[in-house]
Amino acid sequence: MVGGTLLVLSAFGSLFVGVADVTPWGLLHADSAEVLVFLESRVPRLSAILLAGTGMSVAGLVMMHITRNRFVSPSTAGTTESASLGVLVATIFAGSEAVFVKMGIAVVFALAGTFLFLAFLRRLTFGDMLLVPLVGIMFGAVIGSVTTFFAYRADLLQTLAAWTGGDFSGVLRGRYELLWLAGAVTLLGYLYADRFTVAGMGRSFAINLGVAYDRVINTGLVLVAVITAVVVVTVGDIPFLGLIVPNLVTIVLGDNLRRVLPVTALAGAFFVLVCDVIGRLIRFPYEIPVATVVGVLGAGVFLALVLKNRNRTV
């Protein structure tokens, strides 16, 4: 309740933060310029922030459960890099097609990359859970290198930079609506929450309880791939979001997915909103991309989580 109220108040305040002057007084008096900026830019931007933050946080939570590793997320499993490669392929070979076509190609590549990463995990045995995300980061780096090479050959490096750096400054009405699909998929994840919780306890345990383990795992991967691809296509990659928010929430509330998923969604939306506002204000009237702010804060939290886990196992 308190978290939801804080998010609503913060969201309302963010509508009046920016270079263009937009005030409640101006909106009440129907100032045409302020109403135009409010409806065309501020409201779509806020919607995109909330949908992207909610979606990526829930995607990280689901991935953490189905892989049974707290440090596996779309950012550390090659999922976001695979989605970026898919967007590049779509741009080169289907540049004139609708955005849904590009999203579909990105989803296919995100799925393929995630399944390939999981195939690596099944063939390898790790005594330390921290080695799993390290392998994922290296796997993502390889995919990222391939993407950069072909983007260079196709003279699309600047476009690639927009995909790999999450930024909400260019969000306008008509350019973010695809994110509502991520919101719908996030709700679908809540419907499967109990199944994901059971699947996270292992194949044998899930099968003994009558859960179709493989089907649940594949469903979770599809949800993660769709959310990741939609966010990458619409606003770009937001690093560490799907890693740090689920970890912090589950540390406090436990691993029951149905219980922690709504809190994770709210926390993710609030975290991205705060980072976006910081990016708007820290060099006002210029903006720092939200991916930069999230990356700096997220890297610090990630290192703290790693050190905490290391001290616990020593």
Three-class HEC string of 101-118: HHHHHHHHHHHHHHHHHH
Residue 175: closest CA among 52, 12, 10, 18: 52
Q: Would you state the pLDDT for residue 311?
A: 58
Q: Would you state the pLDDT for residue 266?
A: 92
- Specify whether the backbone of 236 is left (phi greater than 0), alpha (psi in -120 to 50) or beta: left
Residue pair 157/226 in contact by the 8 Å Cβ criterion: no
Cβ neighbours, 10 Å, residue 39:
12
Residue pair 56/242 in contact by the 8 Å Cβ criterion: yes
In sequence order, which ranges of 19-98 are alpha helices (DSSP H)? Answer: 24-28, 32-37, 43-67, 79-93
Question: Is 198 in a helix, a strand, or coil?
Answer: helix
263 CA to centre of own chain: 15
Residue pair 229/83 in contact by the 8 Å Cβ criterion: yes
First to last CA, the chain: 38
Residue pair 252/126 in contact by the 8 Å Cβ criterion: no
**pLDDT < 50: residue spans in the chain:** 314
Residue pair 168/42 in contact by the 8 Å Cβ criterion: no
Q: What dihedral angle (degrees, nearest 10) is formed by the CA atoms of 223, 64, 192, 119?
A: 60
Scored b (16 or more CB within 10 A) or e, 195-222 reads bbbbbbeeeeebeeeebebeebbebbbb
Q: CA 3 to CA 141: how far, in whole Å?
A: 36
For 209-225, write each residue's pLDDT tens digit: 787 888 888 888 889 88
Q: Would you state the pLDDT for residue 309?
A: 65
Residue pair 167/290 in contact by the 8 Å Cβ criterion: yes
For 263-285, write each residue's pLDDT tens digit: 999 999 999 999 999 999 888 88
The model's pTM is 0.87
